[in-house]
Amino acid sequence: MPRYRYKAKEGPGNAVERELVAESKAAALARIEAQGFVPIWVRQVGSDASTATGRASGRGIRASDITIFTRQFASMIRARVPILRALDSLHEQTENRRLQAVVADLEQTIRNGAMLSEAMRHYPVLFPELYANMVQAGEAGGILDTMLFRLADAREQEEESHRRVQAALAYPSLVAATGAVTVVVLLAFFMPRVMALFDNYSNLPFPTRMLLGTSRFLSAYWPWLALGIGLVLGVLQRLAALDRGRLLVDGLKLRLPLLGKFLRDVELSRFARVFALLIDAGIPIDTVLQLSAKAIRNAVLRREIEAVRERTVRQGMSLSSGIKQSGSFPLFMGNMLAVGEETGRIDEALNEVAQFYEASVARQSRMVVSLLEPVLLLVVGCLVGFIVFAMLMPIFEMGSQMR
């Protein structure tokens, strides 16, 4: 249905500006008047197809926008502000226009009789199943503010972990890319011009001849090489999109020296944090394992969690035993879960596990940067140094012969 934006008088000198979904402009006017407002103007704000597609895909709305929305919403609910009034306030103060439309739609859906969690399920990209289930548990237990605060905390911790991963990989990636571009430019464009000076020099040193051959090959075939590399990358990307290809790629990631353990610990901290969050909300263990698996980005670890779910839910095995039988989870996690099962506080045990791995990720991110930086600089320096040395060798030999 089309979306309409309207301005209406709520009382003497008090005007509001909101959005709603209606079959037609006449239906929108009728709904506005039914709410006790006096319409000032009503206009359609976009076609249904484009608006719905944009909202459902979450385009233009960052993860941090949803995190801020969640924390502000939690603060209002804790201050005993009614849900509809809180959403109305958030709609007014939100700067992102797309998120404004989403909040307005949430408000309208609730006015039509739906629960908040039901309204959020219309936007699975912005409010994934884990988010909606937490809100539903908060609604059922009368602790919506607590659930929203926990969601905000979890999202902030997730964003911090993501920033650490980006920080750990950003500088090494930049150095590697810069070095590769420098070497290619030297070989493909600069080297042929310099070597033209030595066309009549028959006895070139071996390093120079090797470099000259590589340079001529790159100069002659670089368009085909670029096309071939692009095709290979495209095929690898398509293979990675398949289940078996994804398992292969993610398995290789976990086996990478230095980075493998770092990536595994990032996933383990995410799993433990999500699991603790859901268990504490009183969600059944089957659903907890299902949602925890969806929160994991690595396909190998996701498959292991699904196997743990099979062992615990289908075969009646304890969660700690199921974790210990998996080769992808450290014994520390299994032992902590066993303690949590004995004390009846699995959520506290998993929160400790999450904090342990988050601290480990922070340490490893600093270590990865400190180790990769000099190694990459050394490799790039050696390559560029070899190229310069090979270019200068004929000049040195010519100088020695002239003496």
Q: Per-residue pLDDT for the chain (403 aa), expressed as one digit of tens each?
A: 677 778 888 766 677 888 777 777 788 888 888 888 888 888 776 544 444 444 555 678 898 999 999 999 999 999 999 999 999 999 988 888 889 889 988 988 888 888 999 899 889 889 988 898 889 888 888 899 999 999 999 899 888 878 877 877 787 788 888 888 888 887 777 777 777 776 666 677 888 888 888 877 877 887 898 899 999 989 888 887 788 888 888 888 889 887 888 889 888 988 888 888 888 888 888 888 888 888 888 999 999 998 988 888 878 888 889 888 887 888 899 999 999 999 988 888 988 998 898 888 888 888 877 887 788 888 888 988 888 888 788 777 766 666 5
109 pairs with which residues across the strands?
none
CA distance 102 to 120: 9
pTM above 0.75, yes or no: no
CA distance 150 to 71: 9
What 8-state DSSP symbol labels residue 196?
G
User: What is the second-level CATH architecture of the domain 154-403?
Assistant: Up-down Bundle (1.20)
Token pair of 342 as six digits = 């004995």
Q: What angle separates helix 63-78 from helix 97-111, to the nearest 10 degrees?
A: 40
Q: How many residues are recorded in the chain?
A: 403
pLDDT value for 402: 60
CA distance 331 to 320: 10
Contacts of residue 177, defined as CB under 8 A and 6 or more positions apart, other chains included, come to none
CA distance 110 to 71: 20
Q: Are strands 14-21 and 38-44 parallel, antiparallel or unpaired?
A: unpaired
Q: What is the pLDDT of residues 68-103, one digit of tens each?
A: 999 999 999 999 999 999 999 999 888 888 898 899
CA distance 217 to 96: 51
Burial (CB count within 10 angstroms: exposed 0-12, middle 13-18, buried 19+), residue 270: buried
Q: What is the pLDDT of residues 373-399, one digit of tens each?
A: 788 888 888 988 888 888 788 777 766
Contact between residue 25 and residue 42 where contact means Cβ atoms under 8 Å apart: yes
How large is the greatest C-alpha to C-alpha distance in the chain, in angstroms? 103
Count the neighbouring beta carbons within 10 Å of the beta carbon of residue 196: 8
Which of 86, 134, 379 minimizes the C-alpha distance to 281? 134
Token pair of 104 as six digits = 């307005």
pLDDT value for 86: 93
Which of 121, 102, 115, 107 minimizes the C-alpha distance to 45? 102
pLDDT value for 48: 46
What 8-state DSSP symbol labels residue 43?
E
CA distance 69 to 99: 9
Contact between residue 328 and residue 304 where contact means Cβ atoms under 8 Å apart: yes
